[in-house]
Amino acid sequence: MRSLCLFVLTVVFFVASCSKSSNNGDSGSLAGDWRLTAYYGGFAQIHVQVPDDSMVVLSLHKDSTFQKLVNRQIMGSGAYHVFFTSTGIAGDSAWHIIFENSGDGGLYTVNKDTLLISGLPYDGLEYRYLRQH
């Protein structure tokens, strides 16, 4: 009986670790204009709400290129890469986005019209963007 329970638990963990995330990492699902609304965290635990009249936009394209715009001025551009990592243990996996030419990127999640990018470990900031329609 104990062997059967161990086998069932192993199968459950395997299936859970292989299941497809709702955040599929497809650059098509990320494509669009995302307006920065806040950033927070870091060593000092800051929380900054970006004013609505300060247009900081991350424009992600289906061909895996991006532009960072501040008040409609291009401040950065290049390619971005999306990839998935998993340790094989259920719940311990993440989507990553890396922006070439800028050194920016980190873990990301998309929930409806909200994109969260957790910055690189040395700054610990998380950036919240809202999809522009």
Could you give the CA distance from residue 55 to residue 36 in angstroms, rounded to a whole number?
8
What is the pTM for the complete model shown?
Answer: 0.72
Task: Name the phi and psi angles at 117, rounded to 5.
Answer: -120, 115
* 2-131: CATH topology: Lipocalin (2.40.128)
**pLDDT, tens digit, for every residue of 10-38?**
333 333 333 333 444 555 589 999 999 99
* Whether 25 contacts 82, CB under 8 Å: yes
Task: Name the phi and psi angles at 33, rounded to 5.
Answer: -100, 130
Confidence class for position 49, pLDDT limits 50, 70, 90: very high
For the chain, the structural domain boundaries read 2-131
**pLDDT, tens digit, for every residue of 84-127?**
888 666 666 788 899 998 778 888 999 999 999 997 666 688 99
Determine the pLDDT at residue 73.
95
